[in-house]
């Protein structure tokens, strides 16, 4: 009967068909010796197979054995585990679904290449693999579904169920697990994408140690805990019960009790907890990264509007798939484990949600842009908005070519910038225009012509040379304000203004300076005479003129000498 090893049911046993005598039996018109059959422990079963728990042979035409040897082996016999039946509705439907899953696998790989590409530097807060996980799980779902669907062909063709039904059911449960994981990664990454857009204008709007970040850290661990609980309840077990459907009695004794056992019920419950985690993650993302509404009704409406259409479709579909796994753990009649089950229910409810979720994801992948490119577009829009608020108009692309800015290398541009530095203003200051120069000259002229046109600087200088100041002790004071003999008009104007201020508003500062100078002359040799600005520019003997240091802010020399030859950025 094809029941191997420890599986045996007395209700499946039948007596050998009668032959010419007591030691003769007939299978398909061929006579066999019953003594030899009993000697090698062959038993005839109700499914018209002959087996001794190690070998199983078909006994109906045209697959009946032609000869039985004394060593217990048959000649021209057909094993019970051969594909002798034609392909049924389950096999044809599985081939049709496998075509769509195969096409989905190809499209998923292309979408993965599109959304997995990087156009911005990597960030520790948003790893590139985070956006790729949903496509990795989609490839996993396609691969498992293809294996499960193709093996349905042999489920129909095998006369007695063996390995094909086991492989088909095993990979279907993995397909369910992968579909729920695909839904989770789609929802989780949608929230991560919202967060990335939310913090891109201001990276410090949220701290890394708040309650929000803690929830986002522990929620994936919680989800995958229940997902792997489903895996460990379903996968690590003996799957031979799926093949024990070789007779009605064997199905009722072995297959049905195991398929509707507590482990499959608990596995479906674990998937349901994982689905509730998906809904919680969706609500968490909307709460923190979408506009908030007041009132119960407004919050409900805002929640519905905030959820994208893709998630509105795939979340109920994943729940439908979980519901089917829970349903078949109670009802055997519509179970996918049953080899002759109801085909429309098996494929529409068992494989349909996974296929729809897969193609919804593919449509989203082709319709939506790469996230890095979208982020760059949003940054350009924000930059344009800020420029409009500031009144800055960005020049078009042809502007540089009209002005000739595209000509020359970077070294030439640096050299031209260095050659333009000069004039009467100090290096690093803004160049004085004509209007500012006229205003400065008028101010200096008005300062000199005050008090009836008397030039205060000339009076001060003459008085200082004819009658040096004398301090209270009777010692001659060293003049602290010397006449300016340089060519810098700005400094000359400043000296004139200072002299005029000292005459109009006398103070004891000059007296204190004179006393301090007299005290220093009494305790030591007199200090060397102060140098004028022109003397400061005189080079030392033995040193080149370009090597002299000066504190002057005048750039007159920089105009007269040859332009500096720039060799690198370090020379500037």
| 182-232 pLDDT tens trace | 999 999 999 999 999 988 888 888 877 788 889 989 999 999 999 999 999
- Alpha carbon of residue 483 to chain centroid: 71
pLDDT above 90: residue 370? yes
Element of type H or E holding 535? helix 533-536
> Residue 568: pLDDT band by 50, 70, 90 thresholds?
low
Q: 261-297 burial by CB neighbour count: b if 16+ within 10 A, else e? A: eeebeebbbbbbbbbebbeebbebbbebbeeeeeeee
Instruction: Quick: pLDDT tens for 128-158.
Output: 888 999 999 999 999 999 999 999 999 999 9
* Mean pLDDT of the 158-179 span: 93
Q: 358-375 burial by CB neighbour count: b if 16+ within 10 A, else e? A: bebbbebbeeeebbbeeb
pLDDT above 70: residue 443? yes
In which order are the strands placed within the sheet that holds 49-51?
Answer: 13-14, 43-45, 49-51, 56-58
pLDDT above 50: residue 91? yes
Range in 103-112, 144-153, 195-204, 371-380 the model is least confident about: 195-204
Torsion-angle region of 492 (φ positive above 0: left; ψ -120 to 50: alpha; else: beta): alpha
Q: Same structural domain for residues 326 and 448?
A: no
Residue 425 lies in a domain: no
Three-state DSSP class for 385? helix
Q: How far is CA 12 from CA 42, 80, 140, 240, in A?
A: 13, 16, 41, 19
Q: Same structural domain for residues 216 and 135?
A: yes
- 64: containing domain: 10-75
Structure confidence at residue 480 (pLDDT): 46
Residue 418 lies in a domain: no
Structure confidence at residue 325 (pLDDT): 95
In angstroms, how far is the first alpha carbon of the chain from the final one?
96
Range in 20-29, 181-190, 270-279, 372-381 the model is least confident about: 20-29
Alpha-carbon gap, residue 82 to 158, rounded angstroms: 6
Alpha-carbon gap, residue 46 to 60, rounded angstroms: 12
Residue 84 lies in a domain: no
Mark out the alpha helices in 58-157 (DSSP H runs).
89-115, 128-150, 152-157
> Residue 560: pLDDT band by 50, 70, 90 thresholds?
low
**Phi first, then psi: what are they for 524, rounded to 5°?**
-170, 180
> Residue 73: pLDDT band by 50, 70, 90 thresholds?
confident
Alpha-carbon gap, residue 254 to 240, rounded angstroms: 9
Instruction: Quick: pLDDT tens for 382-421.
Output: 888 888 888 888 778 787 777 777 777 778 878 877 777 6
Q: Same structural domain for residues 298 and 363?
A: yes
**247 contact partners, CB below 8 Å, separation of at least 6:** 1, 9, 12, 45, 46, 47
Of 346 and 23, the structure prediction assigns the larger pLDDT to 346
DSSP state letters, 264-299: HHHHHHHHHHHHHHHHHHHHHHHHHHS----SHHHH
DSSP state letters, 165-232: HHHHHHHHHHHHHHHHHHHHHHHHHHHHHHHHHHHSS-TTSS-TTSHHHHHHHHHHHHHHHHHHHHHH
Q: Same structural domain for residues 179 and 249?
A: yes
Structure confidence at residue 431 (pLDDT): 54
Structure tokens of 44? 């005839």
Of 280 and 69, the structure prediction assigns the larger pLDDT to 280
Alpha-carbon gap, residue 94 to 86, rounded angstroms: 14
Structure confidence at residue 433 (pLDDT): 63
Residue 534 lies in a domain: no
Counting every residue written for the chain, the total comes to 572
Structure tokens of 187? 């929802």
Structure confidence at residue 14 (pLDDT): 74
Q: How far is CA 159 from CA 40, 86, 310, 470, 519, in A?
A: 24, 10, 44, 133, 125
Residue 163 lies in a domain: yes
Burial class (CB in 10 A: 0-12, 13-18, 19+), 322: buried
Structure confidence at residue 174 (pLDDT): 96
Of 482 and 461, the structure prediction assigns the larger pLDDT to 482
Q: Same structural domain for residues 64 and 132?
A: no
Predicted structure pTM score: 0.68
Q: Same structural domain for residues 266 and 133?
A: yes
Structure confidence at residue 448 (pLDDT): 63
Q: Same structural domain for residues 267 and 356?
A: yes
Structure confidence at residue 55 (pLDDT): 83
Residue 208 lies in a domain: yes
Of 16 and 538, the structure prediction assigns the larger pLDDT to 16
pLDDT above 50: residue 545? no
- Domain end among 526, 548, 563: 526
Contact of 533 with 491, CB cutoff 8 Å: yes
> Residue 447: pLDDT band by 50, 70, 90 thresholds?
low
- Domain end among 357, 381, 405: 381
pLDDT above 80: residue 526? no
Q: Same structural domain for residues 327 and 450?
A: no
Q: Same structural domain for residues 262 and 175?
A: yes
pLDDT above 60: residue 373? yes
Residue 544 lies in a domain: no
Q: Same structural domain for residues 62 and 133?
A: no
Of 571 and 24, the structure prediction assigns the larger pLDDT to 24
pLDDT above 90: residue 179? yes
pLDDT above 50: residue 84? yes
pLDDT above 90: residue 493? no
- Alpha carbon of residue 258 to chain centroid: 43
* Mean pLDDT of the 80-107 span: 93
- Domain end among 52, 75, 98: 75
* Mean pLDDT of the 543-570 span: 50
Q: Same structural domain for residues 335 and 253?
A: yes
Give 524's Cβ-side CA count (13 Å radius): 5
- Alpha carbon of residue 412 to chain centroid: 42
Give 531's Cβ-side CA count (13 Å radius): 9
Structure confidence at residue 200 (pLDDT): 86
Structure confidence at residue 180 (pLDDT): 96
Structure confidence at residue 110 (pLDDT): 96
Q: Same structural domain for residues 286 and 367?
A: yes
> Residue 521: pLDDT band by 50, 70, 90 thresholds?
low
Three-state DSSP class for 340? coil
Number of domains in the chain: 3
Residue 476 lies in a domain: yes
**Phi first, then psi: what are they for 218, rounded to 5°?**
-90, -25
pLDDT above 90: residue 295? no
For CA atoms 35, 39, 44, 50, the dihedral sign is: negative
């Amino acid at each position: 009967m094809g029941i191997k090893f420890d599986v045996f049911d007395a209700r499946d046993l039948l007596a050998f068909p009668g032959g010419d005598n007591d030691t003769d039996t007939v299978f398909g018109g061929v006579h066999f010796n019953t003594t030899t059959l009993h000697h090698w422990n062959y038993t005839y079963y109700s499914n018209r197979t002959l087996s001794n728990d190690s070998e199983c042979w078909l006994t109906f035409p045209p697959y009946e054995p032609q000869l039985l040897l004394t060593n217990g082996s048959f000649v021209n016999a057909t094993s019970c585990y051969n594909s002798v039946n034609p392909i049924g509705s389950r096999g044809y439907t599985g081939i049709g679904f496998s075509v769509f899953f195969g096409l989905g696998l190809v499209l998923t790989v292309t979408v993965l290449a599109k959304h997995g590409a990087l156009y911005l530097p990597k960030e520790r807060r948003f790893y590139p693999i985070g956006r790729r996980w949903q496509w990795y799980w989609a490839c996993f779902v396609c691969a498992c579904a293809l294996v499960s669907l193709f093996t349905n062909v042999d489920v129909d063709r095998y006369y007695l169920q063996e390995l094909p039904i086991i492989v088909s059911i095993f990979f279907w449960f993995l397909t369910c697990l992968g579909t729920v994981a695909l839904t989770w990664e789609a929802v989780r990454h949608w929230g991560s994408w919202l967060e990335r857009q939310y913090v891109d204008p201001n990276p410090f709007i949220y701290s890394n140690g708040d309650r929000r970040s803690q929830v986002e850290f522990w929620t994936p661990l919680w989800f995958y805990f229940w997902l792997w609980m489903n895996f460990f309840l379903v996968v690590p077990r003996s799957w031979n019960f799926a093949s024990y459907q070789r007779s009605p009695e064997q199905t009722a004794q072995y297959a049905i009790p195991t398929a509707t056992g507590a482990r499959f019920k608990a596995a479906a419950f674990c998937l349901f907890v994982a689905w509730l985690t998906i809904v919680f993650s969706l609500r968490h993302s909307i709460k923190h990264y979408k506009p908030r509404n007041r009132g119960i009704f407004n919050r409900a409406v805002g929640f519905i509007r905030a959820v994208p259409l893709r998630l509105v479709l795939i979340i109920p579909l994943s729940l439908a798939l979980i519901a089917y796994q829970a349903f078949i753990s109670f009802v055997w009649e519509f179970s996918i484990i049953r080899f002759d089950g109801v085909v429309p229910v098996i494929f529409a409810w068992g494989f349909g949600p996974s296929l729809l979720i897969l193609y919804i994801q593919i449509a989203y992948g082709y319709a939506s842009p790469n996230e890095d490119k979208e982020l760059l577009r949003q940054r350009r829009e924000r930059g344009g908005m800020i420029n409009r608020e500031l009144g800055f108009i960005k020049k078009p692309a042809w502007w540089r070519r009209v002005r000739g800015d595209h000509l020359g290398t970077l070294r030439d541009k640096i050299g031209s910038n260095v050659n333009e530095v000069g004039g009467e203003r100090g290096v690093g200051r803004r160049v004085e225009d004509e209007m500012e120069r006229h205003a400065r000259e008028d101010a200096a002229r008005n300062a000199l012509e005050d008090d009836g046109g008397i030039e205060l600087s000339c009076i001060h200088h003459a008085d200082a040379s004819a009658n040096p100041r004398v301090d209270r002790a009777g010692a001659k004071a060293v003049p602290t304000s010397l006449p300016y003999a340089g060519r810098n008009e700005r400094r000359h104007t400043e000296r004139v203004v200072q002299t005029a201020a000292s005459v109009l508003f006398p103070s004891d500062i000059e007296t204190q300076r004179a006393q301090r100078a007299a005290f220093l002359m009494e305790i030591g040799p007199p200090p060397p005479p102060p140098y004028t600005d022109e003397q400061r520019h005189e080079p030392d003997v033995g040193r080149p003129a370009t090597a002299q240091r000066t504190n002057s802010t005048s750039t007159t020399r920089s105009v007269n000498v040859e332009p500096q030859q720039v060799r690198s950025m370090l020379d500037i």
